[in-house]
């Protein structure tokens, strides 16, 4: 998995004003192809946490379809996105993230170590690379079926410690086997709008799974999802 989300959260937690300043300087360069390629091709010069985090935010927002991808040398290689207007995080937004992370721990490492930190009374959210999705990007060391089953065992142990669980993943026979049959979580099938993808076929609504424990939490989440779905349907009818 990419370490960049960790870099961004670490920068927001430890150096928020520096991150906001570096991002503002990049945004002020504009959204032209020349500006985008200048940042992309100068990736190696962003050698501090705030500068690297700011460059990642800029490139992932301004690149084609919001994709983030690197080559074998670790250099970003997503084409220019041709956007004329993009909403970038303001300094106030960065500071809000900073305050939300106060007292928290931002860590980079194997998911098992993180899951094992959860204790009774905690709410654990897991959002791994969706199993069976974007298989073209799988390579040595990538998240695979063995990791999926290992995550299931971690969640089983967390459940035994009294940890509430929300697990997001694809909706497949394998994920149902792991989350429902092996781990005992309640499965909810959901439709989510996919906005990132190299082709139109990879965007649009797609079926995913939300796996929950305990049961009363699953009931509450399902009720809220139904309300949200009804509201969304009503908005679409009004707009049409």
pLDDT of 136: 47
* Among candidate residues 65, 103, 58, 57, the one with its CA nearest the CA of residue 81: 65
Per-residue model confidence (pLDDT) at position 233: 75
For residues 149-162, average pLDDT: 97
CB proximity list for 99: less than 8 A, separation 6 or greater: none
Tell me what pLDDT residue 121 has.
94
Q: For position 144, what pLDDT does the model report? A: 86
More confident call, 89 vs 233: 89
- Residue 74: is its pLDDT beyond 70? yes
**pTM, entire model:** 0.76
Lowest mean pLDDT among 14-28, 48-62, 102-116, 174-188: 102-116
User: Which pLDDT score, from 0 to 100, does residue 205 have?
Assistant: 72
Mean pLDDT of the region 222-240: 79
pLDDT at position 132 is 77
pLDDT over 90 (residue 130): no
Q: Which of 114, 119, 110, 222 is nearest to 164 (CA)?
A: 119
pLDDT at 70 over 50: yes
Read off the pLDDT of residues 90-107 as tens digits, 9 standing for 90 and up: 999 999 999 999 988 888
For 14-42, what is each residue's pLDDT tens digit?
A: 999 999 999 999 999 999 999 999 999 99
Lowest mean pLDDT of 173-182, 191-200, 201-210, 211-220, name the range: 191-200
Portion of the chain with pLDDT greater than 90, in percent: 69
| pLDDT, greater one: 105 or 160 | 160
pLDDT at 92: 97
Residue 144 near residue 194, CB atoms below 8 Å: no
Rg of the chain over Cα atoms, rounded to whole angstroms, equals 20
Task: Name 49's Cβ contacts closer than 8 Å, sequence gap at least 6.
Answer: 7, 10, 11, 14, 15, 19
Split at pLDDT 50, 70, 90, the class of 141 is low
Residue 229 has pLDDT above 80, yes or no: no
Rounded to the nearest integer, the mean pLDDT of the chain is 89
Instruction: Kindly tell me if the per-residue pLDDT of 139 is higher than 60.
Output: no
């Amino acid at each position: 998995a990419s370490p960049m989300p960790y870099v961004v959260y670490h920068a927001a937690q430890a150096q928020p004003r520096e991150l906001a300043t570096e991002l503002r300087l990049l945004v002020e360069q504009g959204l032209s192809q020349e500006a985008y390629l200048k940042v992309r091709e100068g990736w190696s010069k962003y050698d501090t946490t705030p500068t690297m985090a700011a460059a990642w935010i800029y490139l992932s927002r301004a690149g084609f379809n919001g994709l983030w991808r690197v080559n074998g040398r670790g250099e970003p290689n997503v084409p220019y996105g041709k956007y004329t207007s993009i909403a970038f995080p303001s300094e106030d937004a960065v500071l809000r993230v900073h305050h939300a992370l106060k007292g928290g721990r931002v860590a980079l490492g194997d998911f098992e170590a993180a899951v094992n930190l959860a204790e009774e009374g905690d709410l654990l959210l897991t959002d791994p690379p969706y199993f069976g999705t974007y298989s073209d990007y799988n390579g040595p060391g990538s998240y695979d079926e063995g990791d999926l089953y290992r995550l299931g065992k971690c969640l089983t142990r967390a459940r035994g410690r009294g940890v509430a669980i929300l697990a997001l993943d694809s909706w497949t026979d394998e994920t149902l086997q792991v989350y429902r049959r092996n781990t005992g979580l309640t499965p909810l099938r959901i439709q989510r709008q996919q906005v990132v993808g190299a082709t139109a076929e990879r965007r649009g609504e797609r079926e995913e799974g939300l796996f929950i424990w305990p049961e009363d939490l699953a009931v509450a989440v399902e009720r809220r999802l139904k309300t949200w779905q009804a509201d969304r349907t009503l908005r679409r009818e009004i707009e049409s």
